[in-house]
Amino acid sequence: MAEGAARGAQDNLEPQAKPLTKPRQEPDILKADVFGGGHGGPESQVNAVVKGINTEYGNAVGENIAGGFFGALGYVLGGDEGSFKGAGVDQAAVVALGGLKSSSNVRQKMAQTNGEPITAPPTGSANATTTNKLDVQTTGKLQGVGINGNIKMGGSTRLHGEFDFVINSKSTLLLGSGHSYLSGGENVQAAGRIRFRNSQIVRINNASGHYMPSMAEGLGFLGTFKKSGFNVDRAHLQLYNPEGRIELHITPNSAKRNLFLH
């Protein structure tokens, strides 16, 4: 009996096997950021991206308010959007009075992703600043030309589907294949892919392997198209980060869309 009791006591000391449980699988979610852009994927990753964009946007609004009289007044009268318009007046006043730059560029930025500033308008300047990063393409195809909002397609090509596009320094929209072929390797105001549906622009992005527009440059595309005479009321703007993932998606009904159309 003593031996049996000893064995029982020893059994009680041995660790009991825990039932196997499946590791918690992180759900995929869809979530909108402050711009109205949608983000999808694993919950923790999406939350981190959206939080980063929203935090930087809030910081930018704070900088607008603290950076000058008109930024603060604009916020009182028009909220976040008013603060950005007012900050633009403050910045213009600084340049006009002293030719000096403001102490912080954040007063004009909407967000910051991967350490890259995303600046607010003015956009659509005749000064083309997006440069070709690779050898100029010697093969390609010009399929359409747009001037002052009027787009003419060559041959039997319909204004429907996807095309490479550039908007050159003269605000001319060139459609076809091969970005640097279309531009002749010159600097451009915008470059990427564009989708038309029944002759209406429905999507614009910054996907160009030769020009590689940054997200900062890409946020100016809507304003560039509008200033060049093209209707982008129905266009989604999708911006890729350097890793090739869509980082920002601005929908036609985004509350912050007007910030990029001036």
Q: What is the DSSP string of 145-176?
A: EEETTEEEE-TT--S-EEEEEEEETT--EEEE
| Higher per-residue pLDDT: 191 or 83 | 191
What is the percent of the chain where pLDDT is above 90? 39
* pLDDT per position as a tens digit, 97-144: 444 343 333 334 433 333 333 333 333 344 568 999 999 999 999 999
Higher per-residue confidence, 105 vs 41: 41
Residue type, 66: A
> When comparing pLDDT for 121 and 224, which is higher?
224
Statement: the pTM of the whole predicted model exceeds 0.85 = no
**172 CB burial (10 A radius; 0-12, 13-18, 19+):** middle
Residues 6+ away with beta carbon under 8 Å from 76: 82
Per-chain mean pLDDT for the chain: 76
pLDDT tens column, 62-77:
776 777 767 677 666 7
